[in-house]
């Protein structure tokens, strides 16, 4: 482990110390816990609800997470192509919906970084119940993505899926940290929300036409719950690609997540769409995968880039 400043840490039992002997992290129930920023609204919100709960949400038929996860895993298989057996880092990995395939694929070192301890703890519990030997290949780190406690050039592959946008004005800093951690020639998969898809979400869930019009002049999207709204950033396709290339990364592939999953999930939540039959669900997943690559109406952008 290294500090956010790149210093090699020493370990004594459960405690990690910097070069000056000051404590910087502690091993707590299988998670290495670093300090987090104070008064960060996004971290405070997700901590208050125990993280993203993607694992539980992905069990709900026609939920957005259920529909999008297989599409993301298809992109991850593309990211994996040609990968040497080096480290994989999942930034903002939460409770591991996009971590699990890498463990199942047998990668020897998988690191999940997330600011919510409870999410990481749930992931560890599920891994231990499924196959305790996987824990030998898994490192769980509670940390902020603006200062990843990993060495430069540590990772062969890095993914950050719908996580960095919660940094808002600090988005370039988080993206820069992700690029720093990847070795030359390594690859990154970065996904964050589309501007137009974000406007649809505001109309559906946060104020109807008024919510849409309030968000339209900005790139801000609001989610969370009525008593605790959380701001995050959205991008047009060109803005997202520019953010990637500004980090001296070469775009290898550009795709996305279709906004159809947002619409279908909303219709189901309002009782306007029944659960799909197995054959219908298979056809829907195939359609969403195709629209993710070729469609123009997106919920999120996905870019695979090389350092």
The C-alpha angle 301, 304, 305, rounded to 5 degrees, equals 125
- 16 and 156 together in one domain: no
As to burial, measured by CB atoms within 10 angstroms (0-12 exposed, 13-18 middle, 19+ buried), residue 50 is: middle
- 6 and 128 together in one domain: no
- 176 and 295 together in one domain: yes
Query: What's residue 85's pLDDT?
Result: 82
Query: What's residue 272's pLDDT?
Result: 94
Query: What's residue 6's pLDDT?
Result: 66
- 154 and 245 together in one domain: yes
- 87 and 17 together in one domain: no
- 12 and 68 together in one domain: no
Closest CA to 145 of 168, 124, 126: 168
d(CA 171, CA 99) in angstroms, rounded, equals 22
What pTM did the predictor assign?
0.96
Query: What's residue 7's pLDDT?
Result: 72
Altogether, the residues listed in the chain come to a count of: 307
The C-alpha angle 223, 226, 230, rounded to 5 degrees, equals 35
- 81 and 217 together in one domain: yes
- 171 and 252 together in one domain: yes
Q: What is the pLDDT along the chain (307 residues), one digit of tens a residue?
A: 666 666 788 898 898 998 888 999 999 999 999 989 989 999 999 999 999 999 888 889 999 999 999 999 999 999 999 877 889 999 999 999 999 999 999 999 999 999 999 999 999 999 999 999 999 999 999 999 999 999 999 999 999 999 999 999 999 999 999 999 999 999 999 999 999 999 999 999 999 999 999 999 999 999 999 899 999 999 999 999 999 999 999 999 999 999 999 999 999 999 999 999 999 999 999 999 999 999 999 999 999 999 9
Query: What's residue 19's pLDDT?
Result: 87
d(CA 98, CA 276) in angstroms, rounded, equals 24
Query: What's residue 83's pLDDT?
Result: 72
d(CA 244, CA 162) in angstroms, rounded, equals 14
Tokens of 71: 């599409």
What is the Rg, in whole angstroms, of the alpha carbon atoms belonging to the chain? 19
- 18 and 126 together in one domain: no
- 203 and 167 together in one domain: yes
Map residue 63 onto helix, strand or coil.
coil
- 4 and 151 together in one domain: no
Domain CATH for 153: 3.40.50.150
Number of domains in the chain: 2
Contact 114, 120 (CB under 8 A): yes
d(CA 101, CA 87) in angstroms, rounded, equals 14
- Domain hosting 61: range is 35-306
Contact 156, 86 (CB under 8 A): yes
Query: What's residue 3's pLDDT?
Result: 63
- 176 and 283 together in one domain: yes
């Amino acid at each position: 482990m290294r500090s956010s400043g790149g210093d090699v840490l020493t370990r004594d039992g459960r405690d990690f110390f910097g070069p000056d002997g000051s404590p910087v992290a502690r091993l707590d129930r299988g998670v290495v816990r670093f300090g987090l920023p104070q008064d960060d609204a996004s971290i405070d919100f997700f901590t208050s609800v125990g993280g993203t709960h993607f694992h539980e949400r992905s069990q709900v038929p026609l939920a957005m997470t259920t529909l999008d996860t297989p599409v993301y895993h298809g992109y991850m298989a593309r990211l994996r192509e040609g990968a040497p057996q080096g480290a994989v880092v999942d930034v903002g990995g939460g409770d591991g919906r996009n971590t699990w395939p890498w463990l199942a694929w047998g990668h020897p070192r998988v690191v999940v970084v997330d600011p919510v301890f409870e999410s990481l703890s749930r992931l560890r519990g599920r891994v231990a119940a499924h196959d305790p030997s996987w824990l030998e290949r898994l490192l769980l780190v509670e940390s902020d993505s603006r200062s990843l406690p990993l060495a430069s050039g540590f990772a062969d592959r890095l993914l950050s899926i719908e996580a960095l946008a919660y940094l808002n004005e600090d988005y370039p800093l988080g993206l820069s940290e992700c690029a720093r951690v990847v070795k030359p020639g390594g690859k990154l998969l970065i996904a964050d929300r589309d501007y137009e898809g974000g406007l649809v979400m505001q109309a559906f869930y946060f104020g109807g036409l008024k919510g849409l019009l309030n968000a339209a002049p900005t790139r801000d999207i609001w989610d969370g719950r009525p008593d605790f709204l959380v701001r995050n950033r959205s991008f047009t396709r060109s803005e997202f690609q520019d953010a990637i290339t500004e980090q001296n990364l070469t775009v290898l592939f550009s795709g996305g997540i279709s906004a159809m999953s947002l619409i279908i999930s909303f219709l189901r939540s309002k009782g306007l769409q029944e659960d799909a039959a197995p054959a219908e669900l298979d056809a829907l997943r195939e359609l969403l995968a195709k629209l993710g690559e070729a469609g123009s109406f997106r919920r999120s952008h996905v870019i695979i880039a090389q350092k």
